[in-house]
Copies of this chain bind each other. A is one copy, B any other.
Amino acid sequence: MNEKTTPSKPRHVRDVSEWHKTTDVAVIGFGGAGSCAAIEAADAGSRVMIFEAASASGGSTALSSAEVYMGGNGGTRVQRECGLEDKSEDMYNYLMQAGGDFADSAKVKNYVDGSVDHFDWLVSMGAKYKNSIYNERAIMAMTDDCLLYTGSEKAWPYRDIAKPCPRGHNLEVEGDNGGPMLMGILTEQVESRDINVHYDSRALTLIVDDSNSVVGIVVRIDQQELNIKAEKGVILCAGGFVMNEEMLKKYAPSLLKASIPIGNPNDTGFGIKMGMSVGGAAINMHDGFVTLPYYPPSSLTYGILVNASGQRFINEDCYHGRVGYHCLQQPGDRIYLVFSAEDFGEYETQSYLNADIAGTGETLCELEEELGLPNGVLQNTVETYNINAAKGEDPLLHKSDEWLKPIKAPFAALDCTPGRGAFYPYFTLGGLDTLPSGEVVTSNGDVIPGLYAAGRTACGIPRTGACYSSGLSVGDATFTGRMAGKQAAKRK
């Protein structure tokens, strides 16, 4: 069986001469989604097998900082202990807005309603969250503190739509070590159950019956093709497609303007393709997370981003991902971050950005010339910005007054133009269309019996890089994994 072309076509059960293994639920992929799916299915009394392509558990969740976006329902334990009340309505309204045009209200509602329960479940698995807040404008908490703002909750227009509340939950661990810790915890939980784990197992194609129900999966282990019977169903938790350049070119070419794909090598889209091969609808395939990590240092938030016309285009106090997304949308061929030299701060040691200084100047005119921007435009832009900033206002783009102050000489600019060295990591947000239960549906919304998807193999809560928030991918993966595991176990 040709590996590349395999998921194009399911195997029909009539061509299965032998079942090599039988289980109730076959879970494909042992990352955040797969582990949670397996645990829930097992806890509901099902026999479960996991097939993981790599030699260990982890997936892309282990490579992340494993923040989990949770709240609503009055607040998680941590939110409440920190004196924060988080209404479900606010979380729902924020997530609907953050999902953009493609937001799925049924999924968002389900995620919000189950969010505090999800927190408690993660804690019951062994995840530790300290009752504390990390009060920096940061990409992640580098201390073992828990709560931080990981989205654009405090920025326009979100602040007017929903009461801001920090919902990113960081594990009680210092540094960027949440991913390995979370996957360690979940792996231990899987191992403590009667779940059959197969590593180095390549899922090849689904097995369907006459009614197009999924009844099993073909996997290759030790160079043997095995037909696995899955009496309740197959849950695809095989990640997204950010590592598949051919698929990116076909479905999400604009992401290729960004610089570094984030994910694990098995994020090749094979789970999505398997679903498509039996009529599963792949949706929102063009969109992805992309970011420009221009803070820390947070002081650079006092700066302004301008495009090749010397014009601002986004309130710079937004989440770094929202900003990065808009940078990639700009016409013209340049993006500069312009700031007062005094706000350069600890850029050299703290920044992930990798952007070069593009120009400096004692006057705006000098800087404008050095950057080669159209005569007078940057001067206009900064002067207008400064006049309003001095009054604590940004009538153009509504940056919060917390981050408003006039930009003063000496001036400097960082070159954030895509393709010129600045760090623009990205991953995909499109995948199989599923119900909140994790059941995969066709283009008509009909359930494909026996097929489930979760995590980035499905199109979940996060839908657009334009308003992503950290913690949504691991939050969605672990949550939807659980939903799919429970649903599959329920199947008669």
A279 with B8, Cβ < 8 A, contacts A285-B285, A286-B284, A384-B376 known? yes
- 1/0 contact string of A408-449 vs chain B (CB within 8 Å): 000000000000000000000000010000000011111000
Choose, from A57-65, A107-115, A219-227, A245-253, the stretch at the interface: A245-253
Asked if residues B376 and A250 are in contact (CB atoms below 8 Å), the reply is no
Asked if residues A251 and B397 are in contact (CB atoms below 8 Å), the reply is no
Residue of B nearest to A9 (CB): B212
Q: Which residues on B sit within 8 Å (CB–CB) of A285? A: 283, 285-286
Q: Which residues on B sit within 8 Å (CB–CB) of A314? A: 331
A311 located at the interface, meaning its Cβ lies under 8 Å from any Cβ of chain B in the complex? yes
Minimum CB–CB distance for A126 against chain B, Å: 38
Asked if residues B250 and A9 are in contact (CB atoms below 8 Å), the reply is no
Asked if residues B250 and A8 are in contact (CB atoms below 8 Å), the reply is no
A492–B285 Cα distance when bound, in Å, is 35
Asked if residues B279 and A276 are in contact (CB atoms below 8 Å), the reply is yes
Asked if residues A8 and B446 are in contact (CB atoms below 8 Å), the reply is yes
A22 located at the interface, meaning its Cβ lies under 8 Å from any Cβ of chain B in the complex? no
Give the interface size bracket for A toward B.
Answer: 35 or more
Set B5, B101, B329, B396: member contacting A254, Cβ < 8 A: B101
Q: Which residues on B sit within 8 Å (CB–CB) of A7? A: 443-444
A267–B447 Cα distance when bound, in Å, is 24
A350 located at the interface, meaning its Cβ lies under 8 Å from any Cβ of chain B in the complex? no
A396 with B374, Cβ < 8 A, contacts A272-B443, A273-B443, A313-B331 known? yes
Asked if residues B250 and A283 are in contact (CB atoms below 8 Å), the reply is yes
Asked if residues B397 and A309 are in contact (CB atoms below 8 Å), the reply is yes
Q: By CB atoms of chain B within 10 A, which of A5, A387, A446 has the most?
A: A446
Residue of B nearest to A247 (CB): B443
How many copies of this chain? 2
- 1/0 contact string of A89-107 vs chain B (CB within 8 Å): 0000000000001100000
A272–B331 Cα distance when bound, in Å, is 32
A277 located at the interface, meaning its Cβ lies under 8 Å from any Cβ of chain B in the complex? yes
Q: Which residues on B sit within 8 Å (CB–CB) of A313? A: 331
Residue of B nearest to A315 (CB): B331
Asked if residues A276 and B384 are in contact (CB atoms below 8 Å), the reply is no
Minimum CB–CB distance for A424 against chain B, Å: 15
Set B9, B254, B312, B331: member contacting A442, Cβ < 8 A: B9
Asked if residues A396 and B443 are in contact (CB atoms below 8 Å), the reply is no
Minimum CB–CB distance for A308 against chain B, Å: 8
A279–B309 Cα distance when bound, in Å, is 45
Set B5, B279, B331, B384: member contacting A446, Cβ < 8 A: B5
Q: Which residues on B sit within 8 Å (CB–CB) of A287? A: 286
A210 located at the interface, meaning its Cβ lies under 8 Å from any Cβ of chain B in the complex? yes
Within 8 A of B (CB), among A144-190: none
| Residues of A that sit less than 8 Å from B by CB | 4-9, 12, 14, 101-102, 210, 212, 246-247, 250-251, 253-254, 256-257, 269, 272-273, 276-279, 281-287, 309-314, 329, 331, 374-377, 380, 384, 387-388, 395-397, 433, 442-446
27 contacts between A and B (CB under 8 A): A4-B444, A5-B446, A6-B444, A7-B444, A8-B279, A8-B446, A9-B212, A9-B279, A101-B256, A250-B433, A272-B443, A273-B442, A276-B442, A277-B279, A277-B442, A285-B285, A286-B286, A286-B287, A309-B312, A311-B396, A313-B331, A314-B331, A329-B329, A374-B396, A375-B395, A376-B384, A376-B387
- Shortest beta-carbon contacts, A-B, top 5: A374-B395, A101-B253, A8-B442, A309-B396, A8-B444
